Amino acid sequence: MRILFATGNEHKISEAAAILAPLGHEVEPLLIQGKPPDFIEPQAEGIVEVALSKIEQARELVMGTKLEDSIILVEDSGLFIDALGGFPGPYSSYVESTIGLSGILQLMSAESERGAEFRAITAISIEGNTVTATGICRGKISEQFSGDMGFGYDPIFIPEDGDGRTCGEMSSFDKSSISHRGRALKAVSELLNPPSK
Ligand code: ITT
């Protein structure tokens, strides 16, 4: 299937394209007048509500255009740190662009309990219906930055299903095999193409 990913984050598009290609799907960016959509994210909500709001906004954007019948994908994701009561969670994007990763390491500097998880909610709109799936990647916050691959919080997140490297030190292939995005996209893909019994 050809899936249009409505996101302003090009790293999400390249990761999703690599995850879904072996499952038979082609991922392209959803562009409106040549630009990715700029979503209004309801700030008081959780990531499920934000993902549903994004899919609603994306559907409105394509309504009445030649993309109206396209399959559209959106995602909302975030980093949830146990010792900070789940912060930054739904505020991950805002926190990354304000205090940044160094601000998070500073907040965590006196913490020995460093458990955290990435969560992703993907929502796909197909023939007027919306299907959603969740992906979680447990891990911990590193003591310092490591690696310059990936994006966002990758240089300070060590996944527990990995080998001790941060996601920032992993190839996109290694990261996607255990990431929240990889898990959510595989789950949503199974809902689109249920495995034959
Ligand atoms: P769109 O809303 O346009 O899709 P966005 O980058 O704003 O793009 P989110 O609202 O879902 O995405 O915010 C996700 C935040 O969590 C943002 O700060 C990301 O950098 C971070 N994040 C999400 N997935 C990540 C990953 O795989 N690795 C590192 N950081 C990630």
Using CA positions, which residue lies closest to atom 6 of ligand 1?
Answer: 9
Domains and CATH numbers, the chain: 2-192 (3.90.950.10)
Give residues with Cβ within 8 angstroms of 11, minimum separation 6.
150, 151, 152
Using CA positions, which residue lies closest to atom 19 of ligand 1?
Answer: 152
**pLDDT, tens digit, 9 for 90 and up, residues 11-43:** 999 999 999 999 999 999 999 999 999 898 787
Asked if the model's pLDDT at residue 121 lies above 70, the reply is yes
**pLDDT, tens digit, 9 for 90 and up, residues 139-157:** 999 999 999 999 999 999 9
How much is the pTM? 0.94
Q: Quick one: pLDDT at residue 197?
A: 53
The closest alpha carbon to 132, from 61, 69, 46, 22, belongs to 46
Asked if the model's pLDDT at residue 195 lies above 80, the reply is no
Asked if the model's pLDDT at residue 191 lies above 90, the reply is no
Any atom of ligand 1 within 6 Å of the Cβ of 166: no
Atom index in ligand 1 nearest the CA of residue 157 equals 29
Pocket test for ligand 1, best of 50, 53, 72, 77 (most atoms within 8 A of CB): 77
